[in-house]
Structure 1
């Protein structure tokens, strides 16, 4: 029941943002009673926190399964951002949710800040990145990623858009253009959601809501 509510809430938040009162819409989308809903969540904020936690957990688990064993910090950063952007492209509900919630999710407790700081600090220590503030570099990476997701959620982008964004980010923190191009050229593995992830269900529900009706008028 809780998982079904989170799946439905992910879609509703993605479509309406976090400013509106979404509880009635989530109850209707999940097909549960009001009493059942309040057994799990009391407020919009409780619901948003649960969706954010579930999404962050799944994204971190998928991305870290690939980048966790990469030794080069620049390659870890490049691959991690590319995977993040391609994940948003593969799962429109993710792009729409992140775009709709905006900067409220890019805080010190977000998935963005869970692994990137250590990678950036290591890159600065090795001289791979410019000798600048780690916080500034981190904000540039996080900000560019959020804007890129917003653009992908709102309109069509070129196939190589994620790679072009990552190259620009790497160059902005001191990586030479030729190295940035090389770091973003390797094929990426397909990301597989963890078992029981709400991502696949939410993706299916969103597709069902947006596909044209086959019924004749």
Structure 2
């Protein structure tokens, strides 16, 4: 994206985090982005298309950053734990980003694809290595559980009920235990120092 498109994208993310698509207009978008209405019209065809672009970019960007954060040989349980905790930390650092995901994750098919990237690969790798104990046909339910726990943890962070560290570690530990990892090992994995999330 060009610098102007990035400003429009960031402004849209902030606005959509607190309003529905129909409540966002070009004038407000231009004001938040710090650009003219003409610049907005030159860079997008509609508010609806902008929303879809924001969703698609947000989903692919976070998946790529999480995937880049771990060495291919890392224990899949550690990769999954780190991925969950990255979402909590980024929610703390970028509340608008977290609010956007929490608001639209259940209704946007594109945003739901966020859980079908690295999380699914980590789960399948863990299953193949006998790190996890569930039936293959339960995979869709496992992914739904991970997404639901992650979103609830993000909401706890946003509402100030838990720190990102506590919410992330709790979510990761409980998911790992549900997948068959022992309690002590799950806690150790979920509280290991979290590396930096690679830049976009």
Q: Same fold (TM over 0.5)?
A: yes
Q: Which residue among 66, 70, 75 is the counterpart of 1:72?
A: 75
Partner in structure 2 of residue 49 of structure 1: 52
Give the alignment partner of residue 186 of structure 2, picking from 152, 157, 180.
180
- Equivalent residue number for residue 189 of structure 1: 195
Residues 1:167 and 2:173 aligned together: yes
Conservation of the 8 A alpha-carbon contact between 2:15 and 2:24: no
The answer to which structure has the higher helix fraction is: 2
CA distance in 2 between counterparts of 1:9 and 1:160 reads 30
* Alpha-carbon distance change, 123 to 22 in structure 1, aligned in 2, over 3 angstroms: farther
Name the count of aligned residue pairs.
194
Residue in structure 2 matching 1:110, options 113, 120, 127: 113
1:39 aligns with 2:42: yes
Residues 144-191 of structure 1: per-residue CA shift (max 9 Å, x gap): 111211222233414422101111111122222112112112111233
Q: How does 1:203-214 map to 2 (within 5 A)?
A: none
Structure 2 unaligned segments of length 5 or more: list them.
Answer: none
Q: TM-score, normalised by structure 1?
A: 0.79
Equivalent residue of 1:111, what SS? helix
Aligned with residue 98 of structure 1, among 97, 101, 115:
101
Tell me the TM-score normalised to structure 2 length.
0.85
In the other structure, the counterpart of 1:124 is: 127
- CA deviation after TM superposition for structure 1 residue 37, in Å: 1.3
> CA offsets, 1:64-122, max 9 Å, x none?
22224343211111111112221212221211221222313465862321222222122
| Residue equivalent to 1:9 | 12
What stretches of structure 1 of length at least 5 have no aligned partner? 195-217
The DSSP-based 3-state class of the residue aligned with 2:105 is helix
Question: In structure 2, what is the equivalent of residue 152 of structure 1?
Answer: 157
CA distance in 2, matches of 1:64, 1:107: 18
> Cα distance, 1:4 vs. partner?
1.3
Shift of 1:141: 0.5
